[in-house]
Amino acid sequence: MQQRRSAGRPTGTDGSDFNYRMVVDSRYQKVADGKSRLYAHILTQAVLQLIGILYTCLSTSKGEVPNVIAISSIAISLISLILGDLGRRRSQATLLKVYMVASSIGVVLSIACVAKGNVSLQVLQTPSRWEIHKFELLEAARTAVGFLVQIFTVSTITSLISNMSPPKRTS
């Protein structure tokens, strides 16, 4: 068995071969950054959905009639979160597009549910009702934050999909 020589540097590692090394396209770094940002958005949306689930369960346990719009919003949003995470992990643009549309529908339904309640407007007109409607205000704040997160998510997904697609060849 031949032993390696420990003295000296192997050829090609002194930096003189830099002209022959491959250059990684910057869009791969952009895809990696986009995926990490999308993961943060998905986690934020998951936390907001957990708060929505708790609010819906709390209002249902008080004896109120379950709000069909709120339940459908939560169901659509949870399914979209699963699709979004799968699309992010597998780099599938189709799943990311479905996630973007479905989560947007979930946010719109959530906004419709809060708008249907009219509680925020009543509290703004008479601030003494704040204590009575604090959970409804929390739901309105959750929906507003969810809307802002959705705007950033759509922007991130659009950028991610454009960077995942192969570059257009000019002829």
Distance from C-alpha of 136 to C-alpha of 158, rounded to nearest angstrom: 33
Phi, psi of 63 (to 5 degrees): 100, 0
Domain boundaries, the chain: 30-163
pTM for the model stands at: 0.78
Residues 4-14 have a mean pLDDT of 54
- What are the tokens at 24? 């990684």
Residues 59-79 have a mean pLDDT of 86
Q: What is the pLDDT of residue 98?
A: 97
Distance from C-alpha of 146 to C-alpha of 152, rounded to nearest angstrom: 10
pLDDT surpasses 80 at 10: no
pLDDT surpasses 70 at 82: yes
